[in-house]
Chains A and B, each alone.
Chain A
Amino acid sequence: MNTRILGGIGIAALAVVPLLGLGNYHLHILITVLIWGFVYTSWSIMGRFGMVSLGHGAFLGVGAYVATMLWNTMGLSPWVGIPVAMLVSMAMALLVGYPCFRFRIVGHYFALVTLALGEVVRLTIVGLRDQTGGSLGMTVTGVPEGTSLLALQFGDRSTFFYVALLVWLGGLVIWRLVDRSMLRYALEASSEDEDAAASVGVNVTRAKLMILMISAAMTTLGGALYAQYQMYINPETVSGIAISLQIVFAVIAGGLFTQLGPTVGAVFTLLLAETLRVTFGHDIHGLDGTIYGLLLVLFIIYMPKGITGSIMAGLTRRRRPTPAAAPAE
């Protein structure tokens, strides 16, 4: 069957979900999956080219806090606040990314630079405690009527579901556009051999910067959306090392190199967290996290292609049996 038809059916099926009369809990789970699926997709857009950021919490945090602060203090609509936040994130990405890419800081070193960036944004939020409430977090000021398009607030979950669905689909479209673009060839060539890529006229630094800025802007939108949905944010949940690592792990679990991998990662991690929570409850502090951490380690050791990657590898193997196992890299 054609993947396009399959995709159309999938979207149509998702679009009628709120009409099925699902309870609030299930709708909440779905919206959460869509928002995080979008954030994870944003990360994977650069992660798949070997640019491993351990600091995407920085962009998430800027999205959540800039938009919320502009709204709370100045009454500026998120329709303006979100683009402003995106610009802030992109400027940050440029400032950190330029020296890194220009001087070919890659791999573990780049990961640590971004990790530091994520931490610095968290500390800035805490440091601005008079404006942000510090580590206590802040509440998005609600509109009295509960729903307002201008304030991007929807009292009704189904409406928010459609908003999240649209944003998530937008993320998939951008993923596909990048996948089909010249940027991809430039970056794949450069992750093999940066000198060779540069010698055939690919401006590697610029290609990497563009990808980083796209990814940062998208993540910022995700952070703002998260704030609009939860109506409450705090520095630990939208910035810093923990959330940054969570983003990466989910993508790895789902699969880094496929379009739906990050979303599968969102479904998987959320279901896992919910299952562990429901099974063990909140009484035993840390049990869910212990199992989660253990699973992550096992995942990376035994299933580095992630869920979708492994399924795809299994399918292709079945379709055309290869005579010899691929040589190790």
Chain B
Amino acid sequence: MFDSFLLESIINGLLLGGVLALLALGLNLVFGVIDVVWICYAELVMVGMYAIFFLYVYYEVPLAGAIAAAVLGVALLGMILHRFVIEPVLGTAPINQLLVTGGVLFFLQAAATLAFGIEFRNIGIRMPVVEFGDMFFSFARILAFATALVGVLLLWLFLTRTYLGTAIRAISQDREIMPLMGVDPRRIYLITSAIGGGMAGVAASLLVLQYDVHPAIGLSFGPITFMVCVMGGLGNMLGGFVAAFIFAQFISVGGYLFQIEWGYVIAFCFFIAMMFVRPKGLFSR
């Protein structure tokens, strides 16, 4: 028998996959170039969500302006993170690079609590619900999916069609000889950090339409993003992209059949099983 609820959750999973893909792509880009995982990535998203919320609700900036400001702001935050937190530990043991951004996670989370309290805040834009047969889809989700895809496409064009983008791909293949090409790696790192931050900002603008902002919201997106990156192969952008959609199906369909937590658990078990088959991620070269 045709189960339209199942179809609805499959499509919802597809829509969720777009945002996850965007998040995973940002993280993979930064890791691929700089070799550092931003454990605090989802907290950058949180900062972006707060920025949009306050600009839009308190300062009555038009939504488009608030979003643009947030994207730029988080991009700048990404650069600051790189310049003042990551750069000092770049030459040291990998554990330091991992943990220093973990410290930033605590810091941003607590600082958000300090500044904004623990209330849940919603920007209060009610998006229509799209009806299709007897299935219902949130317009915000469809918008998020479309925007995420456009974002991914723009990033892809940037990476393949521009000098800077080519340099970004090149640096992850051979770091040492970049100066011989006339490329200043430090500059590429900063630009990559800005792009990574900017993508967190874009993700923030999509999530703020669907979810309330609160200081711990990063904890509900961060771990999923990491799982997606791990599943797709850390630093592998194509892998992360596809894994995001697979993962989103587990969450959505698993959540429909059982409960949302079991979606994650099954996805992780799937990942562990896959690791025996394809240890370097689904799309290892």
Q: Do chains A and B directly touch (beta carbons under 8 Å) in the complex?
A: yes
Query: Could you tell me which A residues sit within 8 Å of B by CB distance?
Result: 47, 50, 52, 54, 95-96, 99-100, 102-103, 105, 107-109, 111-113, 115-117, 119-120, 123-124, 126-127, 240-242, 245, 248-249, 252, 256, 284-290, 292-294, 296-297, 299-301, 304, 328-329
Contact with A along B220-233 (1 / 0, CB 8 A): 00110011011000
**Are A245 and B102 in contact, CB atoms less than 8 angstroms apart?**
yes
**Are A119 and B107 in contact, CB atoms less than 8 angstroms apart?**
no
The CB with the most chain A CB atoms within 10 A, among B97, B106, B234, is that of B106
Known contacts A290-B107, A304-B93; A297/B100 CB under 8 A: yes
Contacts of A328 in B (CB 8 A): 91
The 8 Å CB contact of A296, one of B106, B112, B115, B280, is B106
**Are A108 and B100 in contact, CB atoms less than 8 angstroms apart?**
no
Known contacts A112-B234, A119-B264, A293-B110; A245/B105 CB under 8 A: yes
The distance from the CB of B284 to the nearest CB of chain A, in whole angstroms, is 10
**Are A288 and B94 in contact, CB atoms less than 8 angstroms apart?**
no
The 8 Å CB contact of A126, one of B94, B229, B261, B276, is B261
Q: Could you pull out 30 A-B pairs where Cβ atoms are within 8 angstroms?
A: A50-B94, A54-B102, A96-B272, A103-B275, A103-B279, A108-B94, A111-B98, A115-B223, A115-B226, A116-B223, A240-B219, A240-B223, A245-B105, A248-B99, A284-B114, A285-B118, A289-B110, A289-B113, A289-B114, A290-B111, A293-B104, A293-B109, A294-B103, A296-B100, A296-B103, A296-B106, A300-B96, A301-B89, A304-B92, A329-B91
**Are A95 and B272 in contact, CB atoms less than 8 angstroms apart?**
yes
The 8 Å CB contact of A111, one of B37, B88, B107, is B37
**Are B85 and A301 in contact, CB atoms less than 8 angstroms apart?**
yes
**Are B106 and A108 in contact, CB atoms less than 8 angstroms apart?**
no
The 8 Å CB contact of A300, one of B89, B108, B219, B265, is B89
For chain B, residues 127 to 160, give those with C-beta under 8 angstroms from any C-beta of chain A: none
Distance A27 CA – B229 CA, assembled complex (angstroms)? 44
B31 within 8 A of A: yes
Contacts of A287 in B (CB 8 A): 110, 114
Contacts of A124 in B (CB 8 A): 261, 265
Contact with A along B259-276 (1 / 0, CB 8 A): 101101100100110011
**Are B89 and A286 in contact, CB atoms less than 8 angstroms apart?**
no
Contacts of A117 in B (CB 8 A): 268
Distance A70 CA – B223 CA, assembled complex (angstroms)? 29
The 8 Å CB contact of B262, one of A127, A248, A290, is A127
The distance from the CB of B276 to the nearest CB of chain A, in whole angstroms, is 5
Query: Could you tell me which B residues sit within 8 Å of A by CB distance?
Result: 31, 35-37, 39, 85, 88-89, 91-100, 102-115, 117-118, 215, 219, 222-223, 226-227, 229-230, 234, 258-259, 261-262, 264-265, 268, 271-272, 275-276, 279-280
**Are A286 and B111 in contact, CB atoms less than 8 angstroms apart?**
yes
Distance A100 CA – B276 CA, assembled complex (angstroms)? 9
**Are A286 and B103 in contact, CB atoms less than 8 angstroms apart?**
no
Q: A111-B37, A127-B265, A286-B215 are in contact. List 16 more A-B contacts (CB 8 A).
A: A54-B39, A103-B279, A103-B280, A108-B98, A112-B226, A115-B223, A117-B268, A248-B99, A256-B95, A284-B114, A286-B112, A289-B107, A289-B113, A289-B114, A296-B107, A304-B93
Distance A116 CA – B234 CA, assembled complex (angstroms)? 13
Nearest chain-B residue to A297 (Cβ)? B103
**Are A297 and B104 in contact, CB atoms less than 8 angstroms apart?**
yes
Distance A288 CA – B222 CA, assembled complex (angstroms)? 23
Contacts of B96 in A (CB 8 A): 300, 304
Contacts of A95 in B (CB 8 A): 272
Distance A76 CA – B76 CA, assembled complex (angstroms)? 56
Contacts of B259 in A (CB 8 A): 127
**Are A301 and B88 in contact, CB atoms less than 8 angstroms apart?**
yes
**Are A300 and B91 in contact, CB atoms less than 8 angstroms apart?**
no
Known contacts A96-B272, A245-B105, A286-B112; A119/B99 CB under 8 A: no
The 10 A-B pairs at the shortest CB distance, nearest first, are namely: A289-B110, A293-B107, A286-B113, A103-B279, A127-B261, A296-B103, A286-B114, A293-B106, A297-B103, A119-B223
Contacts of B117 in A (CB 8 A): 285
The distance from the CB of B229 to the nearest CB of chain A, in whole angstroms, is 7
Contacts of A285 in B (CB 8 A): 113-114, 117-118
